[in-house]
Amino acid sequence: MDKEKLKQYDLTASVHTFTVRSYEAPTIPQEIDLETVRTMFQPKSGSWLTRVNPNKLECGDLLTYSQFNKVTQELFNCLGIPQATFYRTDLRLDSYEDNFSNYYKLNLFLISLFALLIHDPNGQAIGHLLLQSKELTDIAAQNQY
């Protein structure tokens, strides 16, 4: 890849959404809507799953790990689930620019490295394609957790 093109790439990472498990029922304040925090009871395990979209909170995107820790701890205390454990986390790598196709190979490489790190059963990242337009839309990796 051209070094000048790489220097111009302004890539940012953040947590897009995450789900936590708790054995206490969360108390969701009235001012928090369902797009931000959603919860459901799992009768088989006797636990609650709470999905959080942190960028919809007042703080916006959480771009540092310390900021993420602070906001989630405050949120868990507010919801009454301080002992919650992470069940699922969706990370987002984004440049906030419409340049996905220009950096597709680099994005595929970066997400493939994540796939190796998290032991993705596919062993590689997967690129998603819109079937009718043949347009590449995103790249993903996941593991069983």
Q: Identify the residue with better confidence: 5 or 80.
A: 80
Per-residue pLDDT band for 111 (boundaries 50, 70, 90) equals confident
| Residue carrying structure tokens 């979209």 | 53
Residue 145 has pLDDT above 80, yes or no: no
Answer whether residue 29 shows pLDDT above 80.
yes
Backbone angles phi, psi at 73, to 5 degrees: -65, -45
How is the chain split into domains, by residue range? 13-91, 98-140
In this predicted structure, what is the pLDDT of residue 142? Answer: 83
Q: What pTM did the predictor assign?
A: 0.77
Q: What is the mean pLDDT of residues 50-64?
A: 87
62, 93, 103, 114, 128 from 51: Cα distances, Å: 16, 20, 30, 22, 24
CA atoms within 13 A of residue 126's CA, in its CB half-sphere: 10
